[in-house]
Amino acid sequence: MMTVDFAKDALKKYFGYDNFRPMQSEIIEAIYAKTDTLVLMPTGGGKSVCYQIPAVTQEGVCLVVSPLISLMKDQVEGLRANGVPAAYLNSSLNSAEQNAVENDLFNGNIKLLYVSPEKLVSQSFLPLLKQAKINLFAIDEAHCISSWGHDFRPEYKKLRFLKEQFSDIPLVALTATADKVTRRDIIQQLGLQNPRVFIASFDRPNISLNVRPGQKRFEQILAFIQQHANQAGIIYCLSRKSTEDLASKLREKRIDAAAYHAGLDPATRSKVQEDFIKDDVQIVCATIAFGMGIDKSNVRWVVHYNLPKNMESYYQEIGRAGRDGARSDALLFYSFRDVMVMREIISNNQSENEAVQLSKLERIQQYADSLICRRKILLNYFGENLDSDCGNCDVCKNPPQHFDGTIIAQKALSAVARAKEKVGIRLLIDILRGSQRKEIIELGYDRIKTYGMGADISAYDWQHLMAQLINLGLLEIAYDQRNVLKLTSLSRAVLFESKKVQLVRMADIKQRQEAEKNKVKKKSVKERVRDELFEILRKLRRDIAQKSGIPPYLVFSDASLEQMAASRPVTEFDFSMISGVGEKKLKQYGQIFMSKIKEFIGDKASAGTTIQGATQLQTLQLYNRGFSPERIAMERGISEQTVYDHLVKMYAKDQKIDIKRFVSSSEIKRIMEVVASLEPPYKLRQIYEALNEEIPYYKIRFGLAYYYKKR
Ligand code: ADP
Ligand code: ZN
């Protein structure tokens, strides 16, 4: 029987990856053991590898059922680019082409065959199926089988015949969206036998989460695009018209953007989609109609021009960024006005679950207003708990300063009480600010005690403070009573028991945003050098893609290019270490990419620029392949001490280094104790001696790096 070691070799050989992602190897093991499996993994989580590895390592062919014709082509092209013989069968092929593929299946010339459900369940296909040597059935987008889900496909129901007719061939069902009901439905309807269910984390740590106030959106977007020069991105807009307006406004600024929505004619739509996939258009301004059926792995950012209607949509849409695992950004613009517009849309739809939709809207509003780690809130919504703050959202990167806002809260709450809970946010702010508006005088609100008591705070700042009070649960909006403000059970404690309220000043929120902006602007020289080479490689990738008629990201992912740009491999050995470089791509593209890299290094060297960091990365790549420090030292012709030096540095830079491999927990504990008893700056020698010279230097350095991180 196949083993995981074997699978790991194939992973490098065909896909160029050193390690499995969480759960991939367990799933593959289960498939090797002929167990039926249900796999829940987020988009970009790496579902395909779970059946592709069993397919290429075992005798026979794997049959993949996929509902989206456009994705089949993409997957097959990707496999072929990696040297895996694969094909697809669907209505887009003429009968001669279909015959050719069927012959290949019959003769065992392919390792993977993608079929549409219609084709698979057709009567004429069954005899062929019986004759072919099939090692696995993979049902992609398995939630399509459930009429509970949003993508129900009637043909999926017929897939039940697979387990009925081929009970000894294992089946893996895969999906990125399945609640409990749908999960049960998939298992039942496919007739899975004692299935194992794998549910991966839905966290997408490489996507940084950012929310900004929705003022001056266009200017903010221009700045954002400037910071993401040449990077593919999607801007989601609320209406068809706004996608067109925004795209043309961007084009006026000489930014490469196109609009996409369901109202365009099919030819235009598929052209936009195709151009985007091929990196021929950088930005698509789209309604939510855009994104399904696109596997483009190098979407680097997603902007939400407006608040999405719920967390599910938001998560799905930002998930289109960064499938390759490289750094990507999600940016959401948020204003209270947007909430009001969404509420109106929901009410006008007059659907029966209006209440549910409204409360879902409220959840995403809370997310946008949040002053704690956003990823915590996002994952929490999907029933996952993050132990610590993520460090990759705007709140984590720039935590807000709280101040004692008890008096401000008391003023606002008492105004609500004195206005008999009959006013909405705007009116309340006017009362607090002592406005002379006609309505206020007429209704006698100028006579209540809190009138004008918040005049020292601007209306704009009040809006933000009110949003915080609502998020803290101190006030509620009665959506069913023209959005008037109501007190809550928590309000009482603030009003009568002087419970303290922590708030964040608008000025601080603004300052945080300025700081964020400046951070992006100030790029180090080193990074700029990297960008230069990255751009050179990116152009090369595009030229190659154009010539061979496949999308650029199937030549190499952005993640691979980033690694090449950072570690600048110029030998075959070093090039093969890049993640995403398997045997076929090494042979096919190695020389041409390396010659560009050599040219670049030559130019830089003659210009007198030195390049740092490359040697550490090479060490890291070998470490990732599971090499020991001795072996790394040998391969690279450097001392073991230097290897440790690199590993400690990479660990300090937050690369995934398992330091427990080098220092035990008890050693770390001892080092920490000694360090805590000393005054900085710490001297290694001093620590070494304080530990009775019992713990070697390299361990102390790991321990120290650990200490700094924990602090
Ligand atoms: P999904 O189908 O779950 O959306 P994919 O199977 O398309 O995800 O994988 C997303 C991306 O991650 C692809 O570019 C894929 O090549 C890459 N990937 C998958 N497994 C690994 C791995 N073990 N190491 C590195 N990259 C991986
Ligand atoms: Zn965070």
The lowest-confidence range among 405-414, 443-452, 506-515, 666-675 is 506-515
Q: Is any atom of ligand 1 closer than 6 Å to the C-beta of 319?
A: no
The mean pLDDT value for 113-140 works out to 93
* DSSP code per residue over 348-416: HHT-TTHHHHHHHHHHHHHHHH--S-HHHHHHHHTT---SS--SSBHHHHSPPPEEE-HHHHHHHHHHH
Q: Which residue has the higher pLDDT, 490 or 517?
A: 490
Q: Which residue has the higher pLDDT, 362 or 65?
A: 65
Tens of pLDDT, residues 380-398: 888 787 878 899 999 998 8
Q: Is any atom of ligand 1 closer than 6 Å to the C-beta of 82?
A: no
**In sequence order, what are the residues at sequence separation of 6 or more whose Cβ sits closer than 8 angstroms to the Cβ of residue 59?**
133, 135
Q: What Å distances lie between residue 697 and 660, 667, 671, 682, CA to CA? A: 15, 12, 11, 13
Q: Which atom of ligand 1 is nearest to the CA of 579?
A: 25
Q: Is any atom of ligand 1 closer than 6 Å to the C-beta of 568?
A: no
The mean pLDDT value for 618-646 works out to 84
Tens of pLDDT, residues 647-703: 888 887 777 788 888 888 889 899 988 888 887 777 788 888 889 888 988 899 898
- Best mutation site among 50, 323, 621 for ligand 1 pocket (most ligand atoms within 8 Å of CB): 323
Burial 135-166, CB ≥16 within 10 A → b, else e: bbbbbbbbbbbbeebeeebebbbebeebbeee
**In sequence order, what are the residues at sequence separation of 6 or more whose Cβ sits closer than 8 angstroms to the Cβ of residue 181?**
146, 148
CA distance 523 to 563: 18
Distance 394 CA to ligand 1 centre (A): 26
Q: Is any atom of ligand 1 closer than 6 Å to the C-beta of 569?
A: no
**Nearest ligand for residue 388 CA:** 2
**Atom 2 in ligand 1: residue holding the nearest Cα:** 47
What confidence score (pLDDT) does residue 204 get? Answer: 94
The mean pLDDT value for 473-488 works out to 83
* DSSP code per residue over 242-267: HHHHHHHHHHHTT--EEEE-TTS-HH
Tokens for 365?
Answer: 């509003």
Q: Which atom of ligand 1 is nearest to the CA of 325?
A: 12
What confidence score (pLDDT) does residue 244 get? Answer: 97
What does the radius of gyration of the chain's CA atoms come to, in whole angstroms?
A: 29
CB neighbourhood size of 684 (10 A): 12
Distance 295 CA to ligand 1 centre (A): 11
Q: Is any atom of ligand 1 closer than 6 Å to the C-beta of 47?
A: yes
Phi and psi torsions of 484, nearest 5°? -75, 155
Tokens for 676?
Answer: 């805590």
Distance 87 CA to ligand 2 centre (A): 42
- 574 contacts 618 by C-beta, under 8 angstroms: yes
DSSP classification of residue 23: T
Q: What is the pTM of this model?
A: 0.76
Q: Is the pLDDT confidence value at 524 over 50?
A: no
Distance 654 CA to ligand 2 centre (A): 16
CA distance 4 to 99: 36
Phi and psi torsions of 312, nearest 5°? -60, -50
Long-range contact set of residues 635-640: C-beta below 8 Å, sequence gap at least 24: 635/573
Q: Is the pLDDT confidence value at 533 over 80?
A: yes
In 232-353, alpha helices (H): 240-252, 266-277, 311-318, 336-349
Q: Is any atom of ligand 1 closer than 6 Å to the C-beta of 116?
A: no
Q: What Å distances lie between residue 334 and 101, 223, 264, 330, 342, CA to CA? A: 50, 17, 27, 13, 12
Instruction: For residue 496, give the nearest of 389, 409, 591 by alpha carbon.
Output: 409
**In sequence order, what are the residues at sequence separation of 6 or more whose Cβ sits closer than 8 angstroms to the Cβ of residue 80?**
86
**Atom 14 in ligand 1: residue holding the nearest Cα:** 324
CB neighbourhood size of 96 (10 A): 7
**Nearest ligand for residue 174 CA:** 1
Q: Is the pLDDT confidence value at 525 over 50?
A: no
- Best mutation site among 27, 39, 49 for ligand 1 pocket (most ligand atoms within 8 Å of CB): 49
Q: Is the pLDDT confidence value at 483 over 70?
A: yes
Q: Is any atom of ligand 1 closer than 6 Å to the C-beta of 21?
A: yes
Q: In order of start, what are the domains of the chain with their CATH numbers?
A: 4-199 (3.40.50.300), 207-337+368-397 (3.40.50.300), 402-504 (1.10.10.10), 542-710 (no CATH)
Tokens for 93?
Answer: 């092929």
**Nearest ligand for residue 380 CA:** 2
What confidence score (pLDDT) does residue 515 get? Answer: 67
Instruction: For residue 565, give the nearest of 544, 543, 596 by alpha carbon.
Output: 596
What confidence score (pLDDT) does residue 40 get? Answer: 95
At residue 516 the predicted structure's pLDDT band, cuts being 50, 70 and 90, is low
CA distance 667 to 670: 5
Tokens for 416?
Answer: 């609500």
In 58-168, alpha helices (H): 69-81, 95-107, 117-121, 126-131, 154-157, 161-165
Tokens for 201?
Answer: 């984390």
What confidence score (pLDDT) does residue 526 get? Answer: 44
Q: Is the pLDDT confidence value at 418 over 50?
A: yes
What confidence score (pLDDT) does residue 523 get? Answer: 46
Average pLDDT of every residue of the chain: 89
The helix/strand count (H/E) of the chain reads as 35, 17
**Atom 10 in ligand 1: residue holding the nearest Cα:** 44
What confidence score (pLDDT) does residue 517 get? Answer: 55
Distance 15 CA to ligand 1 centre (A): 10
Q: What percent of the chain has pLDDT over 90?
A: 55
At residue 518 the predicted structure's pLDDT band, cuts being 50, 70 and 90, is low
The mean pLDDT value for 457-473 works out to 85
At residue 530 the predicted structure's pLDDT band, cuts being 50, 70 and 90, is low
CA distance 276 to 554: 14
User: Helices 425-432 and 406-418, interaxial angle, to 10°?
Assistant: 110
Tens of pLDDT, residues 181-222: 888 999 999 999 999 999 999 999 999 999 998 888 999 999
Q: Which residues surround ligand 2, an ion (CB under 5 A)?
A: 373, 375, 389-390, 393, 396
**Atom 26 in ligand 1: residue holding the nearest Cα:** 17
Distance 389 CA to ligand 2 centre (A): 5
The lowest-confidence range among 2-16, 231-245, 636-650 is 636-650
What confidence score (pLDDT) does residue 613 get? Answer: 59
The mean pLDDT value for 576-604 works out to 92
Q: Is any atom of ligand 1 closer than 6 Å to the C-beta of 17?
A: yes
Tokens for 631?
Answer: 């072996």
